[in-house]
Chain A
Amino acid sequence: MERKFIEYDFGRVDSERMRLNVGPQHPSTHGVLRLEIELEGEIVTDVIPHIGYLHRCFEKYCEQMQYPQVIPYIDRLDYIASMNNEWPFVMGVEKMMNIQVPERVEYIRVIFAELNRIANHQIAVATFGMDAGAFTPFLYLFRDREMILNLFEHTSGARLLYNYFWVGGLAHDVPPNFKDTALNIIKTVRATNEEVMRLLMGNKIFVERTVKVGILPADVAINFACSGPVLRGSGVEWDLRKAQPYSIYDRFDFNVCVGSNEIGVIGDSWNRNIVRMNEMEQSCRIIEQAIAQMPNEGDVREKFPKKVRPPKGEIYCSAENPKGELGFYLVADGGNKPFRLKSRPTSFVNLAVLPEICKGYMVADLILILGSIDIVLGEVDR
């Protein structure tokens, strides 16, 4: 049967437009985002995102911090994927200081970054489902995320803000049963993902709700500098891990997932989320390969420089975060503090596209589109 979609054509009705504040205290704005929306009946005619409720002067603060002290602050940007956040900064400083981290450290970093990517995508899909009213997949996904967080806690001592990637290595070695735990997590994640595919992504109501909603064309996505699943959902095959492989990503065999016309149309909310679901599977593949290749012995702490003093110069270093490209532009003056640290926050850039794609949809769709962009206010406001 051919799929049918309803066009919102209610003809011309002259009515007063209503201005509505969505947030900062609202169940579905994923934090303290305030959206000022203009409604005609239920149809959104204008959206103005107001940000800054969580602003904490991250960039200026970093100028007062020694390099190792900056890392915990970077954790607090995208607090759902802290491992990934630390990576570009650490990598940048290492490049400036010409430090070659040991092989084993690279593998552990890859494994933790990919585990954190899985955890982030689980939250993204779970909260997106909850925006649509499906509560049960949310808890299934959180149950699995708990396993990942437990491993992180066992390793770094923290569940959310790890401070684990240090300049020149890692804060601690991994626990002894690390490989088994990671493989066990992958097994569970795959089983749950299969269930979620049937329960949520394949659900008729959910498909009707998300398909053809919030279509983001590829050219608009590129013009707004979107990245991550938002860009790939629009069909653009751009993943920093493939496009400019950093660390040891060129050693692994994995695919870049892009949106397709299979169920939805390219660039709609459903595609942005199916990209996330597929990326979890790709992350599982990377972890499997990394665990198989990883050297068992080796120090992770020895190579630490006593004092982190990058030479005078500047560098832009970016990495593929779960939400997209997170980059840091670092200017060093030879001292032990950054002269300037500019971040390229993923969520902030991706959020900018929201007013562009949600005009003409209903309030319920607006919430779904916001959910499909997957923002974290800690990173938007910095």
Chain B
Amino acid sequence: MGNFVFDLIGKNIVAALVICIIPLVFILPYALIAILGELKIGAWMQDRVGPMRTGWKGVLQPVAEVVKLLQKEDITPTIANKPLFNLAPFIVFIGAFAAFAVLPFSEKFIPSGINLGLFFVFAVGSFAVIGIVMGGWASNNKYSLLGAMRSVAQIISYELPAGMVFLSIATIAGTLDMQTIILNQSGPIWNWYIFGGPQGGAIKFLFIPFFVILFIVYLISSLAETNRTPFDIPEGESEIVAGYHTEYSGMKFAMFFMAEYANMYVVSAIIVILFLGGWSSPFGTSFMDGPIWGIFWMVGKAFFFVFVQIWLRWTLPRLRVDQLMYLGWKVLLPLSIACFMAIAFLAMIN
């Protein structure tokens, strides 16, 4: 994609800006759709109708909410540390937005095809916690501070299992480049890494449980990374009011909000890339495959996992901090390390 824009406009600053803006153009409509999905799916699960007044069946509700947030007074507490307080939402959003730079949408469409894509996503994914701590501390509010403290503990403990999952897939794929990982999985559906990957031999069927466990480990860790239920402990509405963004209002709050939704897509896309073949068609290379269908498959599969996150949010209660730590350190981490060993062994005998 980068090459295409450079060919079209020439290698100058305008071309670079265009490439930067493309993911943003995706994020904004996506966030609106995800918010609408949250409202409507929540309503559907709870036997309500959800918003119905704005537009046909309430489809314009997210737009109305964004407009409302834009119009709201932007309050900064007088005792807050103003520079940090104002900077925090942007850092959180940058963390989510930067990951879009390396997320492929199709075979021919990736904003920046660097060969360390997986590592890059992992690195900027942990960026958000800085913003959260910054916002929580600078608000000078005890609830915010509690939320920020919880957030640090949570993200650090869940990045390790997630890192082990990344490492396992990188080992078996032999690369950190997302496009190559996806290319490895193209072809029939059993080439996907959740089914053991493309490497041949009946031996791979012995290793499928490890891949499935890794898939589940990452699914759980991703919920913790996006602060979604059952891991919405940093926001823990019923306990610490709104956690780290208690004091934020107006557009700064919207930045936190949008970062959360952007993050939801990022982790869903990572799940799809690592385990479910990314943009490759589940029907093999001959049917519904190609660059345009690739966008459909990539976004469609990722949206399914966004849906799963929304679904879990309206179903499950919240964990407690110590239970979250227990799950992260004593269950997920040993499991993922064991799976990593097994998969490294598989990679060695191949």
Contact = CB atoms under 8 A, between A and B. Distances in A.
Partners in one complex: yes
Interface of A: 6, 8, 18, 20, 26-28, 42, 129-136, 139-140, 143, 199-200, 203, 205-206, 208-209, 362-365, 367
Nearest to B153: A42
Contacts of A203: 316-317
Contacts of B321: 42, 362, 364
Contacts of A363: 146, 239-240
Given A27-B238, A130-B238, A131-B238, A136 B45 contact: yes
Interface of B: 42, 45-48, 142-143, 146, 149-150, 229-230, 232-233, 236-241, 314-323, 326
Given A135-B314, A140-B46, A27 B320 contact: no
15 contacts: A6-B323, A8-B322, A27-B237, A27-B241, A132-B317, A133-B236, A133-B237, A136-B46, A139-B46, A205-B318, A208-B323, A362-B320, A364-B233, A364-B236, A364-B320
Nearest to A210: B317
B239 A28 contact: yes
The 10 closest A-B pairs by CB, nearest first: A133-B318, A134-B317, A132-B317, A139-B46, A28-B238, A133-B317, A206-B317, A131-B238, A364-B239, A364-B320
B238 A133 contact: yes
B280 to A, nearest CB: 35
Nearest to A361: B320
A134 B321 CA distance: 16
Contacts of A139: 46-48
B156 to A, nearest CB: 16
A26 B318 contact: no
A interface majority secondary structure: helix
B46 A133 contact: no
A129 B232 CA distance: 15
A200 B314 CA distance: 12
A2 to B, nearest CB: 15
B47 A367 contact: no
Contacts of A199: 315
A9 B258 CA distance: 38
Contacts of A132: 238, 317-318
Nearest to A206: B317
A321 B116 CA distance: 65
Given A6-B326, A139-B46, A140-B46, A26 B241 contact: yes
A367 B233 CA distance: 14
A206 B232 CA distance: 15
Contacts of B233: 364
Contacts of B241: 26-27
Nearest to B319: A205
A344 to B, nearest CB: 30
A8 B322 CA distance: 8
B255 to A, nearest CB: 23
A209 B46 contact: no
A7 to B, nearest CB: 9
A131 B317 CA distance: 9
A164 B230 CA distance: 44
Nearest to A367: B239
B42, B230, B239, B326 — most chain A CB neighbours (10 Å): B239
Given A20-B143, A131-B238, 18 more contacts: A6-B323, A20-B142, A27-B238, A27-B241, A132-B238, A132-B317, A133-B232, A134-B318, A136-B314, A139-B47, A205-B316, A205-B317, A205-B318, A209-B319, A362-B320, A362-B321, A363-B239, A365-B320
A205 B230 contact: yes
A229 B241 CA distance: 28
Contacts of A362: 320-322
Task: Name the residue among A133, A143, A199, A365 with the largest chain B CB count within 10 angstroms.
Answer: A133
Nearest to B237: A27
B319 A135 contact: no
A208 B327 CA distance: 12
B317 A129 contact: yes
A131 B254 CA distance: 25
Contacts of A143: 47
A136 B229 CA distance: 13
Contacts of A129: 317
B48 A42 contact: no
B238 A209 contact: no
A270 B320 CA distance: 15
